[in-house]
A and B are shown apart, each in its own frame.
Chain A
Amino acid sequence: MTKQKFKSNTLPSLVMIGPVVLWLAFFIVIPLLYVAVMSFCGIDEQYNIVFRFTADNYKRLFNANYVQIYAQSLTIAALTTIICIVLAYPFSFFIARTLSKKKAILYMLVIIPFWTNSLIRIYGWRTFLGTNGWLNNRLLDFGLISSPIDFLFKPSATVLGMVYSLFPYMVLPLYTAIEKLDKSLLEASADLGAKGVSTFFRIILPLTASGIFSGSIMVFIPSLGYFFVSDILGGGNSDIIGNLIERQFQSGNNWPLGAALSMVLIIITLLLVKLYQKCGGDMESLGV
């Protein structure tokens, strides 16, 4: 009986699971293995990859210029994450606490801007903030400034672009966590004599910390790789790890070195995800 049942489940489970297993194997596992192997390869004078084991690429990772860019990239990512938390928390709180009918619309309004191509939106910021841009022109028109302000082509501009690009990824988990918060807990806290500030730090913040964690993961990690943001707004003055990798695979044409740089990103990602799980983070809240 059990054997028969086992048999009858084998075919359907193969049909259902088979495709995804094959797909993941071909397009996730094998490519990442390639990258790992390649990071230990060298190149010849014609920039062809030569398959011989070497740790040279990893040695080059400690080049001072690179280290400085890692530091810059991590700083930009950290600032982006912190600014996103600070901006998105009160915002998510307000929209999660409005009446249910309006809530869906307010939430949609956060998503809608992201249906426009992300590059062109970042470019929109450049049009707005450039020395000949709209903001400077208006400020000049009104005589508020005498010469245009340089907003662009510095790390702060890159941070702005990152915050803008990743803002919804912070709002989503925060919104979910805040919406789950039982209103009667806040009432109970007030009832027991806690003022707004105490209620916030003792009840609201601890109970929505999970949202802050998942939001931070979803903002911090991508902001290490969004090379186009620093390309468009940072103008080469605020490179991030993503720029380093992109260059090796395009103009620099040193794929093994690019692979080693990618391994750095992979390791950072793994460490952060492990840390997240250790803090009790739920993987499911990272999806979507």
Chain B
Amino acid sequence: MTRKNKKRLQKGFSIVYCCLIYLFLFLPITVIVTNSFNATTSKPYMTWKGFSTDWYGKLFDNTALLESFGNTMFIAIVSTLLATAIGTLAAVGMYKYKFKGKSVIDALLYIPVVIPEIVLGISLLTLFSNTNIPRGTLTLVLAHTTFSIPFVVFNIRARLSGYDKSIEEASMDLGAGRVKTFFNITLPVLAPGIFGGAVLAFTLSIDDVIISYFTNGQTKTFPLKVMESIKSGVSPDINALSALILIGTIIFVVITQSGVLSRNK
């Protein structure tokens, strides 16, 4: 075999291999989307009964499902805002100032990242039940904020590694105070990192199952609604909503990413 053909063969093999992996990754997505168009009306909604868009219509009559989606969005937005605010301050503060116990904070930040989610979930459940905090939207927000903070901090920290401290000194040298410097210089420079962290926090929040499962009380998020329905068979309107959420997320991320990318250039 000539060198050229050998290289072509290798390339061909790598393309085929990657396609198989993508097939594996997208197979369940295909099932979800296909099933959202399934005309079936009998449980467990697994057999194909023909094409129909009915479930997309029915979706908007399913108030419990819509409500759970609303809860998911509300919790995701509030916890993302909280985690981003706390995480940004922490990342910048830990970068700028030297103080005792910094390594302890660092170690604590890694806990939610490495520990199995179920441990975080039951520990928060224990806390809320011992302190008599009624479980519901509030506890979900607190829980989601907790696991999101480290991701925001780490994202900004990655950005800070290439950060030139002297621009802040230049700002203060030119007469801006600390607060003004923070808002006019530090934040805009770190914006892509902050934004990346926030997007990550948001996507983690809307998909969270395990921690929400232990901290929800009566408030049902969309993933919890799915969990409930799994026992009796997931109805196509849930598939329809999942498909819509996927499309929404893709659009959201494509817009924000291209925005961040063009700003970076």
Q: Which residues of A contact B (CB under 8 A)?
A: 9, 12-13, 15-17, 19-21, 23-24, 26-32, 34-35, 38, 87, 90-91, 94-95, 106, 109-110, 112-125, 127-128, 130, 132-134, 164, 167, 217, 221-222, 224-228, 232, 242, 245-246, 249, 255, 258-259, 262, 265-266, 269, 273, 283-284, 286-288
Contact = CB atoms under 8 A, between A and B. Distances in A.
B163 interface: no
Contact of B114 (A21, A118, A273): A273
Contacts of B207: 114-115, 117-118
Contacts of B223: 117-119
Given A13-B99, A16-B90, A16-B97, A132 B47 contact: yes
Given A19-B90, A24-B109, A31-B126, A112 B28 contact: no
Contacts of B253: 115
Interface in B115-145: 115-120, 122-127, 130, 142-143, 145
A128 B213 CA distance: 26
Given A124-B27, A128-B28, A286-B110, 12 more contacts: A12-B97, A19-B90, A20-B89, A117-B207, A117-B223, A120-B234, A124-B29, A127-B31, A269-B114, A273-B114, A284-B154, A286-B113
A139 B207 CA distance: 33
B225 to A, nearest CB: 10
Nearest to A283: B110
Contacts, number: 229
B90 A164 contact: no
A283 B213 CA distance: 28
Nearest to A246: B118
A227 B113 CA distance: 18
Interface string B222-236: 110011001000100
A224 B115 CA distance: 10
Contact of A20 (B29, B86, B117, B239): B86
The size class of the interface chain B forms with chain A is 35 or more
B25 interface: yes
Given A16-B93, A17-B94, A27 B114 contact: no
A35 B122 contact: yes
A113 B112 contact: no
A284 B109 CA distance: 11
B167 interface: no
B245 to A, nearest CB: 7
B210 A225 contact: yes
21 contacts: A16-B90, A16-B93, A17-B93, A17-B99, A20-B90, A20-B153, A21-B105, A28-B108, A28-B111, A31-B126, A91-B21, A113-B25, A120-B226, A120-B242, A124-B28, A124-B35, A132-B47, A225-B117, A249-B214, A265-B115, A269-B116
A117 B108 contact: no
Given A221-B116, A225-B116, A262-B118, A20 B126 contact: no
A31 B70 CA distance: 28
Contact of B127 (A17, A30, A114): A30
Across the A-B interface, the 7 shortest Cβ-Cβ residue pairs: A16-B93, A124-B28, A225-B116, A31-B123, A287-B154, A20-B90, A124-B31
B26 interface: yes
A31 B124 contact: yes
A91 B114 contact: no
Contacts of A34: 123, 126-127, 130
B174 interface: no
Given A29-B108, A128-B31, A262 B119 contact: yes
